Chain A
Amino acid sequence: MADDTEISSPAATLVAEPGPETAGRRTMILNMGPQHPSTHGVLRIVLELDGETIVKARPDIGFLHTGIEKECEAKFYQQVVPLTDRVDYLANLSNNLCYCLAVEKLLGIEVPRAAQWMRVMLTELTRINSHLVWLGTHALDIGAMTVFFYCFRERETICKLFEKFSGQRMMTSYFRIGGLALEPPRGWQQAAGGFLKHFPANVDEYEDLLDKNPIWLRRTQRVGQVPLERMLDLGVTGPMIRAAGISWDIRKSEPYSGYDEFDFEVPTRTENDVWARYRVRMEELRQSWRIATQALEGMPGGPWMAAAPKVVLPDREKMKTQMEALIYHFKIVTEGFRVPAGDVYQCIESPRGELGYYVVSDGTSKPHRVFMRTPSFGNLQVLPAMLEGRLIADSIASLGSVDFVLGDVDR
């Protein structure tokens, strides 16, 4: 904390000279983050305050930049899959799915229906998982502590389910180019069914804690509003834009992985405030539950991997008995597989919005370029519009309503 005139670098480099509206008034620079708990990661925001009002907000990102896009260029196509988990670590399977779909599009591979449905079920569980973390921490930020425990109780079940499938709770890397990494474990139906059976009652429980809570309502209603045109102009996607009245969901508008076979609704609100974003995500929990239940009940049989021996690793048993399988295995592992030259942009609806992978192939076994159009990066641009001119006390609620993941922002 210091006066505008006294602040030393680097904050001084981020905040412009006092603007015309602030000229003549003494403002204060407040540095929020990068370790502020409500930023859920390492986001730094330089706030220029006039009393309790935020005059300017400058997000400073990049603390979690790991150069994943560069790293992808040094890996074989199949080796990139585990890197995508680390981008948005709360929606790991969404990232796996998007990358796999992009490469499958380049290769022209058709994934078996059973694998598509399993992917749908697991990405919907990922959405539930991600929304639960968001709800718990968002409520915690605003002061409703109990919700956190309830949310993490169910999240734990999902993490255990993921562990059952892939051996990992968070960095699952369960999807592979051409299908799934492993056959689903024995008893997965009971495990998934057991969770899904109780989940609607759990959502009611979270709502009981918040929906009529006067503190929650006063802290979220009419807070963090941004004009819809501004949001569209800034490229905001996902629950944020749906809470502003646009019924746009990529699962409906550009269906992928068999989403057109499922029956679900796209919840929207028109209030466009923190509360509306909360309501939209709560409804999404229910819709995700609907999709996951449909996938569980109607799970088709059949193979889990595409019949593409040059791309998909062979069955372990075949490797021991068939020369061809052994050769393919050796080739895929040591030299990767060649992908026809070209570029594709594949986008999916991640829990946070439009997640897109732009993959450019030059015909070799390593991607020439992988660009990750991450929803958090796009949505975070709205922060200045959301915070400026508002009270500093509302900034925490507004931040939480964006639901960003810093790994997703910085890559």
Chain B
Amino acid sequence: MLSEELTQIPAISALAESYGAAILEGGLSRGEAALYVDPVRIIEICRFLKDEQGFSRLSGVTAVDWHPVEPRFEVVYLLQSLPAGQGGPPQTARLRLKCRLHGEAPEIDSVYGVWRGADWYEREVFDLFGIRFREHPNLTRILLPEGWQGHPLRRDYPKHGHKYDYGEET
């Protein structure tokens, strides 16, 4: 279960109370809290953290590929709380959520409905890692041209020497 120093963080202890079964693992290293959560319940957890615990901002969404280890993908959500109070420096807190996904047809629910800012970040992860986000309103490639073969940030994608015809033949 979660270590004592993690449960001292109010947001995490509240989350553990309501969604204890969905938290698979957690750690606090170098002052940064990170939780591995059940990918099936990501939307509920994000909504809880946003609505009840004040994590009003999603700084970004990214992924890490641990190929050839399975489950190879880790989708990482960078959350931040930003108190609404004005004047004086806001006391912000950060939290990382991670979801492990298997390499075969990796899929996870989109958190677009929770934070609109997830839109481009999820498209970027889809583009570069090939992870599908269910219910995303416009899951298309964002950085690479349409019709690009493969997902460059996967570890098994070559660092040099890919072959691509830039669509001239089609």
Contacts and interface: CB of A to CB of B under 8 A. Distances in A.
Interface of A: 10, 13, 61-62, 65, 67, 69-71, 73-74, 105-106, 108, 230, 232-235, 245-249, 252-254, 266, 268, 342-345, 347, 354, 356, 358, 360, 368-369, 371, 373, 377-378, 380-381, 410-411
A253 B90 contact: yes
Given A252-B89, A253-B89, A371-B60, A234 B116 contact: yes
A410 B157 CA distance: 19
A65 B145 CA distance: 10
Interface string B31-64: 0101000000000000000000000111110101
Contacts of A69: 128, 153
Contacts, number: 106
Interface in B59-102: 59-60, 62, 64-65, 76, 78, 82, 86-92, 94, 96
A70 B62 contact: no
Contact of A343 (B34, B60, B116, B157): B34
A373 B89 CA distance: 22
B163 interface: no
Contacts of B146: 10, 13
A290 B157 CA distance: 48
Given A233-B116, A342-B30, A373-B60, 7 more contacts: A10-B146, A61-B142, A69-B128, A246-B82, A248-B92, A253-B92, A358-B78
B103 interface: no
Given A235-B115, A342-B30, A373 B78 contact: yes
Contacts of B120: 377, 380-381
Given A234-B117, A248-B82, A62 B59 contact: no
B152 interface: yes
B58 A246 contact: no
21 contacts: A62-B141, A65-B143, A67-B152, A69-B128, A70-B157, A235-B60, A246-B90, A247-B87, A248-B90, A252-B89, A253-B91, A342-B29, A342-B30, A344-B32, A345-B32, A360-B64, A369-B62, A377-B120, A381-B117, A381-B119, A381-B120
A368 B142 CA distance: 23
6 shortest interchain CB distances as A-B pairs: A235-B117, A252-B89, A62-B143, A371-B62, A65-B143, A373-B60
A62 B34 CA distance: 30
A378 B64 contact: no
A254 B119 CA distance: 26
Interface in B152-170: 152-153, 155, 157, 159
A369 B159 contact: no
B89 A62 contact: no
Interface of B: 29-30, 32, 34, 56-60, 62, 64-65, 76, 78, 82, 86-92, 94, 96, 115-117, 119-120, 128, 141-146, 152-153, 155, 157, 159
A105 B64 contact: no
Contacts of A377: 120
A410 B144 CA distance: 10
Contacts of B152: 67, 70
Contacts of B141: 62
A343 B76 CA distance: 11
A13 B59 CA distance: 28
Contacts of B30: 105-106, 108, 342, 344
B96 A345 contact: yes
A254 B142 contact: no
B135 to A, nearest CB: 17
A254 to B, nearest CB: 6
Contacts of B58: 235
Contacts of A345: 32, 78, 94, 96
Given A234-B117, A235-B117, A368 B64 contact: yes
A71 B57 CA distance: 29
Nearest to B27: A342
A62 B144 contact: yes
A410 B62 CA distance: 15
Contacts of B90: 246-248, 253
Contacts of A253: 89-92
Nearest to A232: B56
A356 B78 contact: yes
Which of A70, A232, A235, A247: most chain B Cβ within 10 A?
A235
Which of B65, B96, B143, B159 has the most chain A CB within a 10 Å cutoff? Answer: B143
A363 B39 CA distance: 26
B57 A70 contact: no
B54 to A, nearest CB: 12
Given A61-B143, A73-B159, A356 B60 contact: yes
Contacts of A105: 30
A65 B128 CA distance: 11
Nearest to A65: B143
B70 to A, nearest CB: 16
B60 A378 contact: yes
Given A70-B152, A253-B92, A344-B30, A235 B59 contact: yes
A249 B62 contact: no
Given A62-B144, A67-B152, A254 B92 contact: yes
